[in-house]
Structure 1
Amino acid sequence: MTTATVPITRDTPQLVDDLKNHHRQSHTHRADMLDLLGQLDEADIAAQYSENSTATWIRRELNLPTATAYEYVHIARGLRRFRHLFETFRSGVMPYSTVRLLLKYMTEQNEQELVELALVHGYSELQQIFAGADPVDETEPDAPFVTANVRDDGMLDFRALLPAMQGQALLAALKIAQLANYCAELPDADVLADPDKLDEIIQQAEHLPEACPPDHTEEPSRPRTKIDLDSLLRPPSRYGPPEKKDLYPAFIAMMDMVRTKPASPLRAPGAHVNIVLTEGGGAWMPQNISARSAEVRSYIANATVRMHLLDKKGLTINVGRAQRFATDAQVLALLTAWNHQCAMPGCSHTRFIEIHHIREWDEGGKTDIDNLIPLCSSCHSKISHRLAHIEAFGPDLYFRLKDGTQYISRNRSLPTRTRNFTGPLRPEYRTGTSYDD
């Protein structure tokens, strides 16, 4: 199936403006709709129409899914309570998803602060800001469990609900098993029979760029049963959790590893349980930002863990010009500093991570921690094709996209959007749209 491509014409800027305008208007209309719903909820509309609750009434009246109806009522009540948030939402500058996120943590005391944060940070960065925080409407998590029942057909029905720390440990084990399973599938070809040749191929594979797959790819009609040389040189991403399609073979491989203790020769920098401690005493996991600080701190107090403390100046792990590729220690430090995901503002990719030299290696850049940044291969390609640019000025990083959108990361903190690019740019990046405050 082919997809028609709309050519870029002189009308394209107008189409972009129309799209943004309708997007803002959709926020305004949804804000007004939810405000009306909040008023009807306060007037006890359910009793007037013989319904059990406002949610069941709007579900019937607007033909909504049950979950959507209950969510709308919850958000409507929040907007009636926090009017500054409502006015910001209604102005069109804040999307519904951000409103929904803010309401989990908003109080009368922090409403102004959270709204201001949402106006300068993207959704992905906001999720990291709230990492480890306790929601206002705190509910007790369900009790963990593991069940294993043999069905009538002989299949084992295995289910589990794990606490955040144990759940992340399981995902880390599955990641190791995924890569070990991948190596175990190597064909018995002559070229791979020699251990020295196999080590050489694996080393080459580790230093190849990890290519992000297209966003819209069809799932294979049947499981993968063999690996050819081309797929060997393009192994699964060593970062992030195993993909959904690989969970079953990874689980089987993990069982085999427990029974036979095979070792994977591939590096797996994503297969760790990482804990970040803040100077304010907070604790959170980059791979599971929903885990609450209290649970993470409890794990630290009752487990043997390897701590990695970051001070205000960050880490000093340098190899200069001695080698081009980042060391394992540098990769782990960078992943931890950037929350185990792509550092480009607005991007939340956790797989297919590559380490980018801010000052290019070919231009004399060093493989030092302050000159490295983790990017997914998609964002990395934007840098290569000059669709985006990253430049360091002291401890600060400046991100600039081709359309003039600009962000600044103060001392490697979460990037914030700015409409006035204050740092100097190299000549080839000085073109583009300029903004005034």
Structure 2
Amino acid sequence: MANASPAAADGAAAAGLAGDRALEEATFRRITWRILPIFFVCYFVAYLDRVNVSFAKLQMLSDLQLSEAVYGVGAGIFFIGYCLFEVPSNMILHRVGARRWIARIMLTWGALSIAMAFATGERSFYVLRFLLGVAEAGFYPGVLLYLSQWFPTARRGRITALFMAGNPLSGIVGGPLSGLIMQSFGGIAGLASWQWLFIVEGIPALILAVVVFLALSDRIEEARWLSPAEKDAVRRALAADAQAKTLRSFGSAFASPRVWLLCLVYFGVSIGSNTVGFWQPTIIKGAGIGDPLRIGLLSAVPYLVALTAMLIAGRSADRLRERRWHVVVPLLATAAGLFLCGSFRGEIVPAMACLSLAAAGIVTTIAMFWALPTAFLGGAAAAAGIALINSTGNLGGFVSPAVMGWLATTTHSLDAGLYGTAAWLVGTAILVLAFVPARLVDR
């Protein structure tokens, strides 16, 4: 029998390669639809439970006789507990698996979010916010670690953006929902509206803890919903991606100057994020809107803009295989938006435009930022490094509201805090361009 011609052999090889690519695309689509909706909803609830205190503040401060400075410290002390337990939490997740540990995280944070309804003064407010941070520690970096074990770097810009869409959606839906609760639930069962806010918005986390435990698979090998061929396709893609990882051990993450540099970068990002998250309702109220429901409805607008911008940026980053400028440009947009918020205080239309720019910039920045460390961290280094960056960076979550609250109490205005945050974000953008090499992260 005659041997096949070279042309026929080439054709068969090309057909085989096309078949492998089609299988890989179909498999990753299947994985996306299996796990992304769960994490998307979890992050929606997590962010809602973290920042709903910004709506509760509109009435809680007078009921509990708390000052703006106390609110700022209480809002920020969440991140002290969060940062102290972030790395241990992620290392436990790396050992026991995401299914059990993320379910535990959601169960405890849901319970503590509900307990916030029963704060009676400054001390209990501080303690409950601290414990809420301890409870949530590890969720966000744990999800990022989990996604890195299922998706190669070239796919994670869009995937991270889809996961992160829970953040702006919590503003789109959560703002009006919080406003409606604040307007409608006051006095039921003898509880104030801000107390009902914490109770109603804490319950979904308890339900999702059960969903996570039942629906997730810790490893590709345990995913009964994938065929052997699909599992092989994922393993091949991840194995090829792993060759580009330069840090893999636990100790290498702590010894790497690049990891500590990204901790500093994320510190700046966190300052910007929490300035927008914790003070947006106050900015809208300062522009002349007094009704809680109207404040909630208006607060959805910036996050709607942010959701669109983030999804576009995620696709762009993956298509162009470019990461640094997809972080820098949104950082500068956030700085411009916050600076202009201080300049248009008291004017609702310009204030909403500036808030929209700031929210779009910072939400996009967060989603795009995580493509930087996950491009060179793998294995235990990814578990430790992602948690270290998130925990130390999130110290900005304590500094931002504490300083903003102190400045608001001292100057009776948010302007100084907004201008300072804008300047810090410009410096953070320069840091990324100057010290994060494109060859390390652009792929």
User: TM-score, with normalisation over the residues of structure 1?
Assistant: 0.25
User: TM-score, with normalisation over the residues of structure 2?
Assistant: 0.25
Q: Which structure has the larger Rg?
A: 1
> Which has more helix, going by share of residues?
2
> Which has more strand, going by share of residues?
1
Higher relative contact order by CA 8 Å / sep ≥ 6: 1 or 2? 2
